[in-house]
Amino acid sequence: MSASESCTRLTEAHSKSLLNNHDTFLFDCDGVLWNFPEIFPGAVELLNYLTEHGKQLFFVTNNSTKTQDDYAKRFNDIGYKAKPEQIICTAWLTAQHLKSIDFKGRCYVLGMHSMAHELEREGFEICGGIGPDPLASDATAIKTDKLNLDPNVNCVISALDLHVSYIKILKAATYLNRPNVLFLATNDDASLPQSDEVIMPGAGTILASVATAACRSPTILGKPHAPMFDAIRSVFPNVDPKRTVMIGDRVETDIAFGNRQGTTTLLVFSGATSEKYLDSLKQGDERDLLPSFCVKDVQQFLNFLKSN
């Protein structure tokens, strides 16, 4: 895809073509539908409009701190009747990936309780990593004989963990020193979506520490990588990438994900990517970061769809 064939400014005609020629719409959430708790104008109405027109909707997010049920409740609370199976979150995705490879064993998980919920719901055993693993405040050395390492761990999963610590990274890297231990990561986002000057480190920050210490590279499951789309297709085989639209605000994750999987991509400027930054990308060689279409926000997309 050349720069001249992409980044088309969405119009009423384009919008109606997207509606008529596509069956499935994939939405990122943060920066597209909301900057929670602020719900963007037109977001809920757009979701209901597409559903009323018989479209299949999924919500694809790299956020591993919430379960499918958590997200479904959030959508229902704001006025869209979402079912849990419409939520493609990385906690659920991790469990589905382990099922797909017929994994048997125990997992050490750097992550939040949402990860434990989704993994245990599918019958996988977790042997540590969830919640704080503190070191005494006056400690000046690590007593390795007191670590209580599990000899039966055969998978390490790196996700966003607000309780990450030196001890957790040490344990994860030590388990990964065993050659047959599987290494998975929910995503490699460097930072979280934010609306102020505070930098919120993302799951990729934690992953970098573990991978560096272990001298190993993980299989990354979330956007922009293929396992997320593979999981959607395995559960919903009727999803045809050629008749699918991916709507997102980040070119490095959402747009790259959609482009690599063969979908039509729509970038909204309500989140992480500015028009100026998109213009700079047109001069480069990273074609998979360029969207098929771009639009101000979901409200404008809705307006185009509803115009006579």
Instruction: Kindly report, residue by residue over 119-167, the tens digit of the pLDDT.
Output: 999 999 999 999 999 888 888 888 888 888 999 999 999 999 999 999 9
* Residue 196 counted as an annotated binding residue: no
Over residues 35-42, the mean pLDDT reads 92
Question: Of these residues, 30, 133, 254, 297, which one is catalytic?
Answer: 30
Over residues 217-234, the mean pLDDT reads 96
Q: Given this model, what pLDDT does residue 194 score?
A: 72
* Residue 254 counted as an annotated binding residue: no
CATH fold for domain 3-62+224-306: Rossmann fold (3.40.50)
Lowest mean pLDDT of 1-5, 155-159, 183-187, 274-278, name the range.
1-5
Prior bond to 84 cis, omega within 30? no
Residue (of 224, 144, 217) closest to 184 by Cα position = 217
* Residue 150 counted as an annotated binding residue: no
Work out the percent of the chain whose per-residue pLDDT is above 70: 98
Q: Domain 103-220: give its CATH code.
A: 3.40.50.1000
Q: Given this model, what pLDDT does residue 138 score?
A: 80
Residues 264, 22 contacting (CB under 8 angstroms):
yes
Checking if the pLDDT of 2 tops 70, the result is: no
CA distances from 24 to 19, 55, 202, 240 (A): 9, 6, 29, 8
* Residue 28 counted as an annotated binding residue: yes
Q: Does residue 28 carry a catalytic annotation?
A: yes
Over residues 26-54, the mean pLDDT reads 95
Q: Given this model, what pLDDT does residue 4 score?
A: 47
Q: CATH 3.40.50.1000 spans which residues of the chain? A: 3-62+224-306, 103-220
Over residues 193-209, the mean pLDDT reads 88
77: its two tokens: 């609370």
Task: Please enumerate in sequence order all residues whose Cβ is within 8 A of that of 38, keeping only pairs 6 or more positions apart, or say none.
Answer: none
Residues β-bridged to residue 56: 24
Over residues 104-131, the mean pLDDT reads 96
Question: How far out from the chain centre does Cα 155 lie?
Answer: 20
Over residues 187-192, the mean pLDDT reads 90
What are the two backbone dihedrals, phi and then psi, of residue 266, each rounded to the nearest 5 degrees?
-130, 120
Q: Given this model, what pLDDT does residue 36 score?
A: 85
Q: Does residue 30 carry a catalytic annotation?
A: yes
Q: Given this model, what pLDDT does residue 58 score?
A: 98
Q: Given this model, what pLDDT does residue 157 score?
A: 98
